[in-house]
């Protein structure tokens, strides 16, 4: 209860949810004694794949007995998910203490919710300043509150695609602008660029990074992977090759994120990561909440009985594309339950599922004022045989005509995924 009261006060410190500037967080961190200054950081920017890349790094570091602090956003079920210190999610009492200290020092000054949370993470991380800090950049990067560190061990660029274009000027809602925002202020350290969806995007990233003096490690240039039989894959980079077990993640598309994490750690020589740390670590990656997560027990699982139930928080066309690559490997009927926020590319997202699913059910996202009404989303869907609307997640699940071993996928929003987990 105390934590919720603090969070409500912090949310009222700025009239806008997002106000792109670094001045407020710089001023606050100066008052806090610049806690971000001497942290050992790995920065993670991109559109998709950030979470699984981070969780892979975490698992490998854990095998090497290296503790880490992790900052991510948004959270799925509770705010604590954003704050990992000493390789453990922060408890309510410690988080209250950190937030209260930052709130007092901020002294009512105007600052966005994300900015004050970011300052709070840095303050908490200072207590564990020997750890590796894995920091996910939020909306873009150039004006993201995390972009106030002055040096880091490496920057990771995951797959980049169109998303959050409502925050860009009308004439600049392009992949070129997004690449610029995400890459133009990367620090001079090492930059590891993950597999991209096409050569054109990769070429644009290379061009954008041309003036950056960092060592650049591009997928397929300095590291790569290939699938093998019997549950293995091969990883190769300039330091040698590894035969590795398949990671503890659903979908072969995750290999691009896993190998990016491996390439990053193998290029930070001071960490002295062993091959054995990598082999064991990727078998123990913590499940990525709401990222192609199978629900195996619970209230909602009971409704679908012997059929498979998955949730996935993907919400942009790039996410839909890789999700459908996984669906192509599933030999069963597939049913989609979908809810989306109003500012997303609804038709483009849903178009990827053409000829891959047996039914679509649209729903409202509970407790989200900026979500699209399920009935309106249904009207946007064309070219599919069976499209219906139901006013709740439970009603949608009960309405499906399921056979044994069908697959039900609830997708379209991380906020929806959070509500599903809460209900289940």
Q: What is the DSSP string of 145-177?
A: TTTT-S--SEEEE-B-----GGGS-GGG-SHHH
How confident is the model over 333-347, as pLDDT tens digits?
Answer: 999 999 999 989 999
Q: Are residues 139 and 55 in the same domain?
A: yes
In this predicted structure, the answer to whether residue 173 has a pLDDT above a threshold of 90 is no
CATH code for the domain of 180: 3.40.1190.10
Q: Are residues 268 and 326 in the same domain?
A: no
Q: Are residues 169 and 241 in the same domain?
A: yes
Q: Per the structure block, which two tokens stand in for 123?
A: 């303050």
Residue-number span of the structural domain to which 241 is assigned: 2-284
How confident is the model over 119-144, as pLDDT tens digits?
Answer: 999 999 999 999 999 999 977 789 99
Q: Are residues 137 and 53 in the same domain?
A: yes
When pLDDT is cut at 50, 70 and 90, the band that residue 353 belongs to is very high
How confident is the model over 286-341, as pLDDT tens digits?
Answer: 877 888 899 999 999 999 999 999 999 998 898 899 899 999 998 999 999 999 99
How confident is the model over 178-201, as pLDDT tens digits?
Answer: 999 999 999 999 999 999 999 999
Q: Are residues 198 and 341 in the same domain?
A: no
Per-residue pLDDT, 165: 62
Q: Are residues 276 and 337 in the same domain?
A: no
Least confident piece of the model among 162-166, 236-240, 413-417:
162-166
Q: Are residues 125 and 257 in the same domain?
A: yes
**Number of domain units in the chain:** 2
> Final residue of a domain: which of 232, 266, 284?
284
Q: Per the structure block, which two tokens stand in for 13?
A: 């410190």
What are 153's strand-pairing partners?
none
Q: Are residues 268 and 352 in the same domain?
A: no
Q: Which residues, including other chains, have CB under 8 Å from residue 37's CB and lie 6 or more apart?
A: 149, 150
Q: Which DSSP string corresponds to 320-342?
A: HHHHHHHHTT--S-EEEEE--BT
Q: Are residues 223 and 305 in the same domain?
A: no
> Final residue of a domain: which of 260, 284, 308?
284
Average pLDDT over residues 376-384: 93
Q: What angle do CA 281, 194, 36 make, to 5 degrees?
A: 75
Asked if 268 and 190 touch (Cβ cutoff 8 Å), the reply is yes
Q: Are residues 82 and 110 in the same domain?
A: yes
CATH code for the domain of 406: 3.90.190.20
Asked if 189 and 153 touch (Cβ cutoff 8 Å), the reply is yes
Q: Are residues 386 and 250 in the same domain?
A: no
Q: How far apart are CA 293 and CA 412, in angstroms?
A: 14
Q: Are residues 314 and 264 in the same domain?
A: no
How confident is the model over 70-125, as pLDDT tens digits?
Answer: 999 989 999 999 999 999 999 999 999 999 999 999 999 999 999 999 999 999 99
Per-residue pLDDT, 287: 77
Q: Per the structure block, which two tokens stand in for 127?
A: 């207590």
């Amino acid at each position: 209860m105390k934590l919720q009261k603090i969070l409500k006060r912090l949310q009222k410190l700025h009239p806008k949810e997002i106000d792109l500037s670094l001045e407020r967080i710089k001023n606050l961190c100066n008052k806090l004694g610049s806690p971000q200054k001497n942290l050992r950081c790995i920065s993670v920017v991109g559109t998709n794949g950030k979470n699984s890349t981070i969780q892979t790094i975490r698992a490998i570091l854990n095998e090497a007995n290296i503790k880490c602090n992790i900052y991510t956003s948004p959270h799925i079920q509770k705010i604590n998910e954003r704050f990992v210190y000493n390789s453990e999610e922060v408890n309510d009492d410690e988080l209250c203490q950190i937030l209260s200290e930052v709130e007092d020092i901020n002294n009512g000054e105007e600052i966005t919710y994300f900015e004050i949370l970011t300052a709070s993470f840095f303050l908490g991380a200072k207590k564990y300043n020997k750890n590796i800090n894995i920091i996910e950049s939020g909306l873009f990067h150039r004006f993201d509150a995390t972009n106030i560190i002055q040096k880091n061990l490496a920057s990771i660029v995951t797959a980049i695609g169109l998303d959050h274009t409502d925050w860009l000027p009308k004439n600049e809602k392009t992949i070129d602008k997004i690449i610029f925002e995400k890459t133009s202020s990367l620090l001079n350290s090492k930059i590891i660029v993950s597999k991209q969806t096409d050569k054109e995007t990769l070429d644009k990233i290379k061009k954008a990074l041309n003036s950056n003096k960092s060592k650049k490690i591009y997928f397929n240039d300095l590291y790569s992977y290939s699938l093998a039989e019997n549950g293995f894959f091969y990883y190769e980079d300039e330091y040698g090759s590894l035969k590795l077990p398949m990671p503890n993640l659903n979908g072969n598309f995750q290999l691009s994120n896993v190998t990016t994490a491996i390439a990053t750690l193998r290029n930070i020589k001071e960490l002295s990561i062993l091959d054995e740390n990598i082999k064991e670590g990727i078998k123990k990656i913590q499940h990525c909440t709401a990222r192609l997560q199978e629900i195996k027990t619970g209230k909602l699982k009971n409704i679908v009985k012997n059929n498979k139930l998955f949730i996935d928080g993907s919400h942009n066309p790039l996410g839909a594309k890789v999700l459908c690559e996984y669906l192509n490997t599933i030999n069963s009927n597939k049913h989609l339950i979908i809810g989306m926020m109003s500012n997303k590319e609804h038709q483009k997202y849903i178009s990827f599922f053409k000829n891959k699913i047996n039914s679509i059910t649209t729903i409202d996202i509970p407790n989200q004022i900026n979500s699209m009404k399920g009935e309106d989303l249904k009207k946007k869907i064309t070219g599919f045989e069976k499209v219906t609307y139901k006013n709740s997640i439970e009603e949608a699940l009960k309405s499906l005509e399921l056979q044994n071993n069908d697959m039900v996928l609830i997708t379209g929003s991380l906020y929806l995924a959070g509500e599903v987990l809460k209900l289940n």
